[in-house]
């Protein structure tokens, strides 16, 4: 008898992978801007190590890469505080490069949020990428504080979308489930022609705003 858990052999692929013969190939387009120029010339033959007779033939090759030593940019903001005779108080302009009372720039917050919420990377992995590859010292607690600040800014918009979803005449719904530390979680998605709303349901009958 064949074991129940044994999987049958997968059938062999009938068609050869790839495009058909004669199909025009596609490759990365050449860059619009060149930041650095390098010339390469062999000092001797790479096969027999013999001397070479110099010729005028050349070919061009482009490479794109991330700089090896990425250094964070530290900016000192001098904020002037002036007196408003009409409001009877001191006022100062906002710093657009970071969230209020935040020491981490908006680019770091946006990139870390996209890695976590967009690509599903764990918090420890994101911290390791910033500390090791980007040379940006950050902790998981520092990132969470920044994300909470972003949540406070975006929450009124979420409530507006949620209210429009509740008032929609037609609303499509779908769910997907997973377990976190042994506890069941469900992600609900509600869509209408002009909105999409997400809800997290930690237990049946108890929904929490995502």
Band (pLDDT 50/70/90 cuts) for residue 66 is confident
The per-residue pLDDT for 209 is 44
Closest CA to 74 of 108, 113, 124: 108
Band (pLDDT 50/70/90 cuts) for residue 207 is very low
Bridge-based pairing of strands 89-91 and 172-180 is unpaired
The per-residue pLDDT for 6 is 66
Q: How far apart are CA 61 and CA 17, in angstroms?
A: 28
pLDDT tens profile 106-158:
999 999 999 998 898 999 999 999 999 898 999 999 999 999 999 999 999 99
Q: How far apart are CA 84 and CA 90, in angstroms?
A: 6
pTM: 0.69
Residues 6+ apart with CB under 8 A from 187: 175, 176, 177, 178, 198, 199, 200, 201, 210
79: left (phi over 0), alpha (psi -120 to 50) or beta: beta
CA distances from 189 to 7, 19, 86, 91, 167 (A): 35, 38, 48, 43, 16
Mean pLDDT, to the nearest integer, of 26-38? Answer: 87
Average pLDDT over the chain, rounded to an integer: 86
Counting Cα atoms < 13 Å in the Cβ hemisphere of 23 gives: 7
The per-residue pLDDT for 3 is 64
The per-residue pLDDT for 70 is 85
The per-residue pLDDT for 187 is 86
pLDDT tens profile 51-63:
999 999 999 999 9
**Would you say 115 and 126 are in contact if contact means Cβ atoms under 8 Å apart?**
yes
Band (pLDDT 50/70/90 cuts) for residue 205 is very low
Mean pLDDT, to the nearest integer, of 49-76? Answer: 90
Q: How far apart are CA 114 and CA 108, in angstroms?
A: 10
The per-residue pLDDT for 58 is 94
**Would you say 81 and 89 are in contact if contact means Cβ atoms under 8 Å apart?**
no
% of the chain exceeding 70 in pLDDT: 87
Q: Sign (positive/negative) of CA torsion 42, 43, 48, 52? A: positive
Q: Where are the domains of the chain?
A: 79-155, 168-210
Which uninterrupted H or E stretch holds 177? strand 172-180
């Amino acid at each position: 008898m064949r074991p129940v858990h044994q999987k049958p052999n997968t059938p062999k692929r009938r068609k050869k992978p790839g495009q058909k013969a004669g199909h025009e190939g596609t490759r990365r387009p050449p860059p619009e801007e060149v930041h650095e120029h390098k010339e390469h010339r062999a000092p001797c033959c790479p096969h027999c190590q013999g001397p070479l007779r110099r010729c005028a033939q050349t070919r061009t090759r482009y490479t794109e890469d991330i700089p090896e030593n990425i250094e964070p940019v530290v900016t000192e903001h001098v904020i002037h505080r002036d007196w408003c005779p009409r409001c009877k108080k001191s006022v100062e302009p906002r710093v657009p490069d970071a969230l209020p009372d935040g020491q981490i720039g908006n680019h770091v917050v946006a990139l870390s949020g996209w890695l976590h919420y967009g690509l599903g990377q764990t918090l420890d992995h994101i911290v390791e990428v910033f500390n090791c590859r980007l040379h940006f010292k950050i902790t998981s607690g520092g990132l969470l504080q920044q994300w909470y600040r972003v949540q406070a800014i975006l929450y009124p918009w979420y409530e507006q979308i949620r209210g429009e979803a509740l008032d929609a005449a037609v609303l499509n719904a779908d769910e997907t489930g997973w377990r976190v530390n042994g506890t069941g979680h469900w992600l609900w998605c509600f869509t209408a022609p002009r909105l999409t709303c997400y809800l997290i349901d930690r237990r049946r009958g108890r929904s929490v705003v995502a």
